[in-house]
Amino acid sequence: MSRRLLRTDRPMRWAQSAFKTRNGTIYTVLIVVALIFPGFADITTGGEGNHLVSTAADAGVYVLLAIGLNVVVGFAGLLDLGYAAFFAIGAYTYGMLASSQLAGSPLHMSIHLPFWLLLFVAIFVAASFGAMLGAPTLRLRGDYLAIVTLGFGEIVPRLFRFFGAGSPIGNWTGGVNGIAAIDPPKLPAFLSGPWFGTNWPIAVVAPFDFSDGNWAPMDYYWLIIILVAICIMLVTNLQNSRIGRAWMAVREDEVAAAASGINTIAVKLLAFAIGASFSGFAGCFYAAKLSLVSPENFEFVVSVTILIMVVLGGMGNIPGVILGAITVYIVQFFVLTNLPDWSVAVANAVGLGGIVPASADGSWIGLHDQVQRLNYIVFGLILVTMMVLRPQGLFPSRIREQELEKGTAEESVFDVREGVD
Amino acid sequence: MTNGTASAEPILAVERITKRFGGLTAIDDVSFVINRHEIFSLIGPNGAGKTTLFNTITGMYKPTQGTIRFSDRSITGLRPYKINDLGIGRTFQQIRLFSYMSALDNVRIGEHPRMHAKVWDALFKTPAARREEVRVTERANELLDFVGIRQQAHNYARNLPYGHQRRLEIARALAGNPKLLLLDEPAAGANPQEKRDLMALVEKIRAQGITVLLIEHDMKVVMGISERIVVLDHGQKIAEGKPEEVRRDTRVIEAYLGKSA
């Protein structure tokens, strides 16, 4: 018993150190929220929390994407407006190699590789495309690079649409219909238990199929939590390494970085490839969970959304970017989708029920539909408000915080002269 | 340590370098040779082409004509990071520090090309990468100590006083283990006492076995410590020699001293 007492000490000390820094606090809160969220979702919806948990797992994909784009935009300072292209490449890599899609291609053979292997394949493929795009374009700076990435982001989904049925080289990608019936992840065996919300005692399930309704979407939820956790650890290590330092140096002053012996093009290329690999990783999970990929899932708006997440969360700061992703996701897929219903409820509650129904002559389409039409105006207003109130993002890196606060003091530094000793 | 006169072994040879920007000839057929362990100064009035020559030596500009040889190897047209890698470090006239990185990180950036951690090591914080970080951090602290700003290690570069920023740039350049250090007006904007301190630091750097090429606008500053001086005016070399020879040169007096006297 005395040993047990000693052990309880350790979490206490850990907790004390976890709350010492702001980022430690954010991570601790995130872990706690992630752990209790499924239970919370079940309680608030009266046992029907699966939909919320599934939505949370989808949000996790965006967290991965935001972490990846942060490497490119936040660390290395390269504006990438076509990031969804790598997301698409990851998703299609999984879709093509884990479904019957290629049976209809000139290969005449369906390939069903396991999810766990394809995670790494998708990383590799996306990173390669990142390097391929970067190699000829990273000599460009700032705005020019942004335009090139924008073009790439437009081309990739269109290529996936083009190489469907009737393309000169056969049907590889399912064209406009995309690829359906993609394999779910499988494990040879796993333990089912309370963590999947089932009330059964802990039991060995072999083989374990992730799409089985007995535990989906809880299993996807835990899987993405684990993937996100791994990515946070890896990207934090990167940030604090020789390579992370080189990225920051290139962002701060490319000329000085080159004069300090940094091969700026190689370093930027690496940022591009690593950013893309996170996106490929996310795409692989996305395709597996949805069991479907189609070109319109990767339009320009996806790239923009991810960029908003990064900027709004606080460029360069990993926990900030994660919170930005979660916030934007909640606003887009929860607040905005429910806003019509909420406004109807509010109107009824405050005695304005008269404006709810549509008018007979069609000049007023009803409050519900009207609010729905205004969705993106509301979204835009929310973004503008947030950026005006907090231009540095929700939780910026200390660097950007200072840059914005002291921006005006920049010039005077050179006039300050103090004695050397 | 070694004296310039003892070993006249060349380390850098600038051979007939010309640099034109459109119709403007910034450097016009300039040649000189710097010997190992020398403090060699490049002086001249504003707009003489000193910084352009620096940028040409360090690969920021490609020369229109001519070759630059470093340790018997042509470095003409190599990219800046390559030239740094071969052993030429530099500072900038307009300070170019990584403003929002700590002084320590600025110096650690200087060590980047000598480090070995690859993506894999960085991602997984391998023991080798950790050891390397510890080693590099120690060295960076030593260098900050060497230039006399150890106490600033954890402050943002931009928050350092001007004189310390100059010294930090020197520490960053030294972190790359240069054989030749190019200092672009390190004493610019300093008061006389600071100038003397900086020149003492330059002597200290030379004592480490590093050759120094110094740009200076103010001729008096370099007279005391330079072995040899080249004077540029309107992109042309108008004099070369020992400080006392240069000081007596009529063309120099005309172009340079005459103007300020």
Helix (H) or strand (E) holding A325: helix A318-330
B104 close to A253: Cβ distance less than 8 angstroms: no
Inter-chain residue contact A420 with B194, CB threshold 8 Å: yes
Mean pLDDT (chain A) is 85
Determine what percent of chain A falls in helix, strand and coil, rounding each to the nearest 5.
Answer: 70, 5, 25
Inter-chain residue contact B123 with A238, CB threshold 8 Å: yes
Judging contacts by C-beta atoms under 8 Å, the chain A residues touching residue B113 are 260-262
Instruction: Indicate whether B17 and B51 sit together in one domain.
Output: yes
CA–CA min distance B6, chain A (Å): 31
Instruction: Indicate whether B51 and B19 sit together in one domain.
Output: yes
Q: What count of CB pairs under 8 Å joins A to B?
A: 136
pLDDT above 90 covers what percent of chain A?
48
B195 close to B104: Cβ distance less than 8 angstroms: no
Inter-chain residue contact B194 with A249, CB threshold 8 Å: no
Instruction: Indicate whether B184 and B170 sit together in one domain.
Output: no
Q: Which residue has the higher pLDDT, A376 or B39?
A: B39
Write the CATH number for B3.
3.40.50.300
Cα(A173)–Cα(A148) distance, integer angstroms:
24
Instruction: Indicate whether B149 and B200 sit together in one domain.
Output: no
- pLDDT at residue A193 in the model: 77
Let me know if residue B95 belongs to a domain: no
Region B175-203: mean pLDDT is 91
Give the range among A33-37, A123-127, A142-146 with minimum mean pLDDT: A142-146
Instruction: Indicate whether B120 and B233 sit together in one domain.
Output: no
Residue in chain A closest to B61 (alpha carbons) equals: A255
Name the most confidently modeled range: A20-24, A173-177, B221-225. A173-177
- pLDDT at residue B261 in the model: 42
**Tokens, residue B158:** 């931009």
Instruction: Indicate whether B235 and B172 sit together in one domain.
Output: no
Partner residue facing A416 (CB), from B60, B161, B197: B161
pLDDT digits (tens, 9 = 90+) for A333-362: 888 888 999 989 998 888 888 888 888 887
- pLDDT at residue A408 in the model: 37
Inter-chain residue contact A420 with B164, CB threshold 8 Å: yes
Inter-chain residue contact B109 with A262, CB threshold 8 Å: yes
pLDDT digits (tens, 9 = 90+) for B50-100: 999 999 999 999 999 999 999 989 999 899 999 999 999 999 999 999 998
Residue A142 has a CB neighbour count (10 Å cut-off) of 10
Instruction: Indicate whether B106 and B157 sit together in one domain.
Output: yes
**Tokens, residue B8:** 């006249």
CA–CA min distance A148, chain B (Å): 24
Partner residue facing B110 (CB), from A237, A238, A260: A260
Last residue of a domain, one of B131, B154, B177: B177
Q: Which of residues 391-410 of A touch B (CB under 8 A)?
A: 399, 402-403, 410
pLDDT digits (tens, 9 = 90+) for A161-180: 999 888 888 888 988 899 99
pLDDT higher than 50, residue A414? no
- pLDDT at residue A367 in the model: 87
Residue in chain B closest to A262 (alpha carbons) equals: B81
- pLDDT at residue A421 in the model: 30
pLDDT higher than 60, residue A80? yes
Judging contacts by C-beta atoms under 8 Å, the chain B residues touching residue A404 are none
**Phi, psi angles (nearest 5°) of residue A420:** -70, -35
Q: Does A242 touch chain B (CB under 8 A)?
A: yes
Let me know if residue B256 belongs to a domain: yes
Instruction: Indicate whether B155 and B188 sit together in one domain.
Output: no
pLDDT higher than 70, residue A148? yes
pLDDT higher than 50, residue A304? yes
Cα(A149)–Cα(A272) distance, integer angstroms:
11
Cα(B111)–Cα(B173) distance, integer angstroms:
9
Q: To the nearest 10°, report the CA torsion of B14, B19, B25, B27.
A: -20
Judging contacts by C-beta atoms under 8 Å, the chain A residues touching residue B193 are 419-420
Cα(A61)–Cα(A90) distance, integer angstroms:
12
Judging contacts by C-beta atoms under 8 Å, the chain A residues touching residue B190 are 417, 420
Judging contacts by C-beta atoms under 8 Å, the chain A residues touching residue B129 are 241-242
Region B206-233: mean pLDDT is 90
Instruction: Indicate whether B82 and B208 sit together in one domain.
Output: yes
Helix (H) or strand (E) holding A112: strand A111-112
pLDDT band at A38 (very low <50, low <70, confident <90, very high): confident
Let me know if residue B35 belongs to a domain: yes
Give the range among A74-88, A248-262, A365-379 with minimum mean pLDDT: A365-379
pLDDT higher than 90, residue A51? no
Name the most confidently modeled range: B41-45, B190-194, B207-211. B207-211
Partner residue facing B176 (CB), from A261, A410, A417: A261
CA–CA min distance A242, chain B (Å): 7
pLDDT digits (tens, 9 = 90+) for A233-288: 999 999 999 999 999 999 999 999 999 999 999 999 999 999 999 999 999 999 99
pLDDT band at B2 (very low <50, low <70, confident <90, very high): very low
- pLDDT at residue A200 in the model: 63
**Tokens, residue B154:** 């954890």
- pLDDT at residue A413 in the model: 34
Mutate to test the interface with A, among B79, B100, B204 (most CBs of A within 10 A): B100
Name the most confidently modeled range: A32-36, A137-141, B132-136, B223-227. B132-136
Region A28-47: mean pLDDT is 86
Judging contacts by C-beta atoms under 8 Å, the chain B residues touching residue A68 are none
Instruction: Indicate whether B61 and B38 sit together in one domain.
Output: yes
CA–CA min distance B31, chain A (Å): 23
Partner residue facing B123 (CB), from A237, A416, A419: A237
- pLDDT at residue A351 in the model: 84
pLDDT higher than 70, residue A406? no
**Phi, psi angles (nearest 5°) of residue A201:** -65, 165
Q: Where are the alpha helices (DSSP H) in A163-299?
A: 218-239, 242-252, 254-259, 264-290
Judging contacts by C-beta atoms under 8 Å, the chain A residues touching residue B79 are 258, 263
Instruction: Indicate whether B60 and B138 sit together in one domain.
Output: no
pLDDT higher than 50, residue A420? no
pLDDT band at A15 (very low <50, low <70, confident <90, very high): low
- pLDDT at residue B183 in the model: 95
Report angle CA B67, B38, B93 to the nearest 5 degrees: 70
State the amino acid at position A146 in one-letter form. Answer: A
- pLDDT at residue A398 in the model: 67
- pLDDT at residue A395 in the model: 82
- pLDDT at residue A419 in the model: 32
Helix (H) or strand (E) holding A60: helix A50-70
Residue in chain B closest to A274 (alpha carbons) equals: B119
Judging contacts by C-beta atoms under 8 Å, the chain B residues touching residue A401 are none
pLDDT higher than 50, residue B202? yes
Instruction: Indicate whether B200 and B161 sit together in one domain.
Output: no
Region A294-317: mean pLDDT is 92
- pLDDT at residue A5 in the model: 46
Let me know if residue B232 belongs to a domain: yes
Last residue of a domain, one of B157, B177, B197: B177
Q: Does A259 touch chain B (CB under 8 A)?
A: yes
Name the most confidently modeled range: A2-16, A370-384, B20-34. B20-34
- pLDDT at residue A399 in the model: 61
CA–CA min distance A340, chain B (Å): 45
Mutate to test the interface with B, among A237, A240, A245 (most CBs of B within 10 A): A245
What is the residue range of B42's domain?
1-87+178-261
Inter-chain residue contact A258 with B81, CB threshold 8 Å: yes
Inter-chain residue contact B100 with A264, CB threshold 8 Å: no
Cα(A251)–Cα(A77) distance, integer angstroms:
5
Let me know if residue B7 belongs to a domain: yes
pLDDT higher than 90, residue A415? no
pLDDT higher than 90, residue A100? no
Cα(B152)–Cα(B145) distance, integer angstroms:
10
- pLDDT at residue B257 in the model: 57
Last residue of a domain, one of B145, B177, B209: B177
- pLDDT at residue B15 in the model: 94
The number of domains in chain B is 2
Let me know if residue B94 belongs to a domain: no
Q: Which residue has the higher pLDDT, A332 or A70?
A: A70
End-to-end alpha carbon distance in chain A: 60
Cα(A240)–Cα(B101) distance, integer angstroms:
12
Q: Does A337 touch chain B (CB under 8 A)?
A: no
pLDDT band at A411 (very low <50, low <70, confident <90, very high): very low
Let me know if residue B92 belongs to a domain: no
Q: At what angle do helices A84-97 and A264-290 cross, to 10 degrees?
A: 50
Cα(A59)–Cα(A51) distance, integer angstroms:
12
Judging contacts by C-beta atoms under 8 Å, the chain A residues touching residue B176 are 260-261
pLDDT digits (tens, 9 = 90+) for A176-223: 899 999 999 988 888 877 777 766 677 788 788 888 877 778 889 999
Q: Does A232 touch chain B (CB under 8 A)?
A: no
Partner residue facing A261 (CB), from B81, B99, B193: B81
